[in-house]
Chain A
Amino acid sequence: MVAENTTKNLSITLRVWRQAGPNQPGKFVDYQSKDLNPNMSFLEMLDVVNDELTLKGEEPIAFAHDCREGICGTCSCTINGKAHGPGKGIATCQVYMRAFRDGDVITVEPFRATAFPIVKDLITDRSAFDKIQQAGGFITARTGSAPDANALPVPKPDADLAMDAAACIGCGACVAACKNASAMLFVAAKVSHLGLLPQGQAERDQRVLAMVSTMDALGFGNCTNQYECSAACPKLITHDFIARMNRDYLGATLRSAFKPAPLGTGGGAG
């Protein structure tokens, strides 16, 4: 139980990446943090350290966070070399101090990728993800034009698989974990979610083509099948979706190459 399993409090050394701004040099700085309750979350530990820094007249560590329950995708620390730190299927905000031992040195860095420039300390700019979504990560359904929700049955296995893919929280851990800083898992999750549903068929080809080309243009690398992305994913999204996306991409590329010329541009229309 929460209060009951309290063992000994711990003291740790925090080795944190400090960087004042996007184009400034950064470096690791050590901070001591003492007498921490193991039931404290990792971010609550940072809160405590920050209040101590504030009182000492130093600038607190900037870190991204919001919901603190693993769903908004804002928090994004690489802890001891692992995106979102120790533990499987969790985000940084769901790491608890009980995962560490007394005397540990804990290294904390931002998610590192060319496409995610550092804004300050542990905060990166992940707007590239939004740009990929804007390129095609949607089903065009203008408000008010929808048919009755039950008019189109969706087989349960398809709906369940679509939901597995849709669980992506857009945190970017897949990119941070990949040696190529590839966004393939992120893009594949959205392509699969929408492509598995009957509603998503009309734009299926153009969606995968647009999202992949935008991903490439934004400086993300390619997939070389190491699957670090799935291992780091706080929602355990499987790399199988990458294979699905590749298939979709290949098919869409072929179909677009052999697409008949649009009406009115060909001859013989009379």
Chain B
Amino acid sequence: MATLDSKIPSGPLADKWRKHKVDIKLVNPANKRKYEVIVVGAGLAGASAASSLADLGYKVKCFVFHDSPRRAHSIAAQGGINAAKNYQNDGDSVYRLFYDTIKGGDYRAREANVHRLAEVSVNIIDQCVAQGVPFAREYGGLLANRSFGGAQVSRTFYARGQTGQQLLLGAYSALSRTIGAGLVEMHTQSEMLDLVTVDGHAKGIIVRDLVTGKIERHSADAVVLATGGYGNVFNLATYARGSNATAIWRAYKRGACFANPCYTQIHPTCIPVSGDYQSKLTLMSESLRNDGRIWVPKKKEDRLKAPDSIPEEDRDYYLERMYPAFGNLCPRDIASRAAKRVCDEGRGVGASGLGVYLDFSEVIKRLGENTVRERYGNLFDIYHEITAESAYQVPMRIFPAMHYTMGGLWVDYNLMSNVPGLFVLGEANFSDHGANRLGASALMQGLGDGYFVIPYTIGDYLASQKPGSRPKPDTAAFTAAEQSVGAMTKRLLDNKGKQPVSHFHKRLGKIMWEHCGMARTKGGLEQALQKIPALREEFWANVLVPGSADTLNQSLEQAGRVADFIELGELMCRDALTREESCGGHFREEHQYPDGECKRDDEKFGHVAAWEYQGADKTPLRNVEPLNYEFVKMSVRNYK
């Protein structure tokens, strides 16, 4: 059984991080260059961590599967980044951001982590502006803000509809500077395929050079995973096609606990599915909900009528009706389920019946088309490219889609997993969003972890490791890990089955969306736990992976990722089945209030479930970390 010590510092909430920074060990400047740190991933969390650690003096090696560190999917985040700057003088504070995030997460995140996140949020904005991130500004030259779901203050900083891009390019520029200065050794098109542990500590990784197919061993004093989320288990998601769970999944198989895998976020405003060939779903930023009004016809028979022919009194602005205080800006999980409900009632719009209107006619009338274009122009353009429709003239049609995973590898307050020396940042860990993430909080967490947490906390671990004591990559543990990677590659290529990889990915996605999506039931999850192992067997019996191992082979890359997704999907369903309550993005139909809201069971499930691998075909062990709420009272979320 794994030891899960959260290492949350004692004392008042607002003092914990300050006190912890004083209490943890330091590595002296002359010794820092004797330590090597591997960072896997160069999204917001990875790039910010790699450059910050390099600036401190550590020797850093950074690995990405992309052809450049500028391509990570953080780049696609549209809407913004939260920070408790209170520049709008509207009553914001670190405490309020903390409280909104804890509440938004349906009381399933750690208080201490979330408070720290709110504290460092203000430093993130300073850091990004200093790097030259061109945030939106007011006419006086000061920074502009907008509001986002789950908050009643305007604390979201943004760069048009490309905030993630600009923040990532900021972090990438810092990383580029450190690469140029010889402080970071950058490995592009290198995919991590295994974690190497020596005496129980993470001391290296095995990677495949995706161009030459060469398998390489890299040793280090510590390993940092910043490899993003696992939403592509659903096949259709707002993730990039290459986003994958392989790094965290292989780390799980080497002993790192996987926490709350069933906490997934379905984003309410995405462009609906149009056909079976579809490879991804495109998000329309939540920021659109500031000015767009969501509705469906009151009457089923109106659902195929032209929207402008439906008079006001026959429209149901259901979010405004059900949640008057937050209206269209209620949290994502609530907005998604509400959309599902009105579609289940037969009032969904479009041919498939799986869509609701997001209507801008009111704001265009009020502020004019130009103002709307300035605010959301690029989003309207994206919508037009995909659907050939102009949202200036007709309402957008939107539907929820898989968007983010709150679960991830378990980490303590130092962001270290239960495997000593293995740190996990950003979406890849589980720590800050509980059962639901608020909009504009993912960018905050990624950068917070990379710029302002790991630079302090990694020293606490490294100080306990003798400088120069890292194992050489020719030791037995590395040989064994390389052999297991080689065996899997060979098995995939030699299989010569009858179906391409995509066939299995699509089928997995359908099982997950049906049984482990927006609404889950005991029966459905039990079915999924029958179907997924069967699919896994079929995959290994019948997958067809063309090409060879010693060249660029995208089918092989995808095959390994899908093999991992199938196993992870099973764990997600197992976690969802065990968690007999509803909370945030995890909605069990058996556990709801009469008005359809989540019914938590704090007594039985006020904890983190951290799954521990027990071997192939063995049921994983469910470890529990109790969530001790010392400062906030767990209550029923109310956005009415």
Residues of A within 8 A of B (CB): 1-5, 20-21, 37, 39-41, 43-45, 47-48, 50-51, 53-55, 57-60, 62, 64-74, 87, 89-90, 94, 96, 98, 119-120, 123, 125-127, 129-130, 133-150, 152-156, 159-160, 162-163, 166-167, 169-170, 193-194, 197, 199-200
Contacts and interface: CB of A to CB of B under 8 A. Distances in A.
A59 B547 contact: yes
B85 interface: yes
Given A51-B500, A98-B388, A150-B142, A65 B241 contact: yes
B474 interface: no
B68 to A, nearest CB: 5
A130 B131 contact: no
A68 B241 CA distance: 7
Nearest to B394: A1
A134 B179 contact: yes
A68 B68 contact: no
Given A68-B282, A142-B55, A152-B129, 18 more contacts: A2-B274, A2-B397, A3-B275, A4-B351, A47-B279, A47-B502, A58-B546, A64-B67, A66-B240, A68-B240, A130-B188, A143-B55, A143-B451, A144-B451, A149-B126, A153-B140, A167-B165, A199-B130
Interface in B272-322: 272, 274-275, 277-280, 282-283
B551 interface: yes
B367 interface: no
Contact of B274 (A3, A129, A199): A3
CB-CB nearest 7 A-B residue pairs: A153-B141, A134-B180, A146-B130, A138-B173, A141-B130, A146-B126, A2-B274
30 contacts: A44-B278, A57-B546, A60-B546, A66-B241, A67-B75, A69-B282, A69-B382, A70-B382, A70-B385, A71-B75, A71-B165, A72-B72, A73-B71, A74-B66, A74-B67, A89-B381, A120-B552, A127-B67, A127-B188, A137-B173, A138-B176, A141-B174, A143-B174, A143-B452, A144-B452, A149-B135, A159-B134, A162-B132, A162-B134, A166-B159
Contacts of A54: 500, 544, 546, 555
Interface residues of B, number: 89
Contacts of B130: 139, 141, 145-147, 149, 199
Given A51-B502, A68-B240, A68-B241, A130 B68 contact: yes
B585 interface: no
A62 B554 contact: yes
A51 B389 CA distance: 30
Interface in B533-581: 544, 546-547, 551-552, 554-555
Nearest to A95: B385
A45 B278 CA distance: 10
Contact of A21 (B143, B240, B551): B551
Contacts of A133: 70, 172-173, 176
Prevailing SS type, chain A contact patch: loop
B87 interface: yes
B426 interface: no
Contact of B162 (A65, A123, A155, A167): A167
Contacts of B186: 130
Contact of B552 (A44, A119, A155, A163): A119
A183 to B, nearest CB: 14
Contacts of A47: 277, 279, 502
Contacts of B173: 133, 137-139
Nearest to A150: B142
Contacts of B136: 159, 163
B409 to A, nearest CB: 23
Contacts of B274: 2-3, 37, 39
Nearest to A98: B388
Contacts of A137: 173, 176
A140 B166 CA distance: 16
A119 B211 contact: yes
A216 to B, nearest CB: 17
B583 interface: no
Contacts of B388: 5, 96, 98
B387 interface: yes
A194 B129 contact: no
Contacts of B502: 47, 51
Contacts of B385: 70, 87, 90, 94, 96
A148 B130 CA distance: 9
A14 to B, nearest CB: 15
Which of B141, B159, B351, B388 lies at the interface centre, i.e. has the most chain A CB atoms within 10 A of its CB? Answer: B141
B130, B275, B351, B451: which has the most chain A beta carbons within 10 Å?
B130
B387 A1 contact: yes
Contacts of A199: 129-132
Tell me which of B280, B351, B451, B502 has the highest count of chain A C-beta atoms within 10 A of its own C-beta.
Answer: B280
A65 B274 CA distance: 20
A149 B125 contact: yes
Interface string B355-393: 000000000000000000000000001100111110000
B242 interface: yes
Contacts of A64: 67
A20 B410 CA distance: 42
A152 B186 CA distance: 33
B631 interface: no
B505 to A, nearest CB: 11
Contacts of A39: 274-275
Contacts of A160: 137
Given A51-B500, A67-B75, A200-B132, A143 B554 contact: no
Contact of A163 (B55, B134, B498): B134
Contacts of B127: 141, 143-144, 146
Interface in B65-110: 66-73, 75-76, 85, 87
A71 B177 contact: no
B455 interface: yes
A237 B180 CA distance: 26
Contact of A123 (B140, B272, B552): B552
A163 B135 CA distance: 8
Contacts of A142: 55
Contacts of B67: 64, 74, 125-127
Given A138-B131, A150-B87, A130 B70 contact: yes
B117 interface: no
A4 to B, nearest CB: 6
A44 B352 CA distance: 20
A134, A145, A148, most chain B CB atoms within 10 A: A134
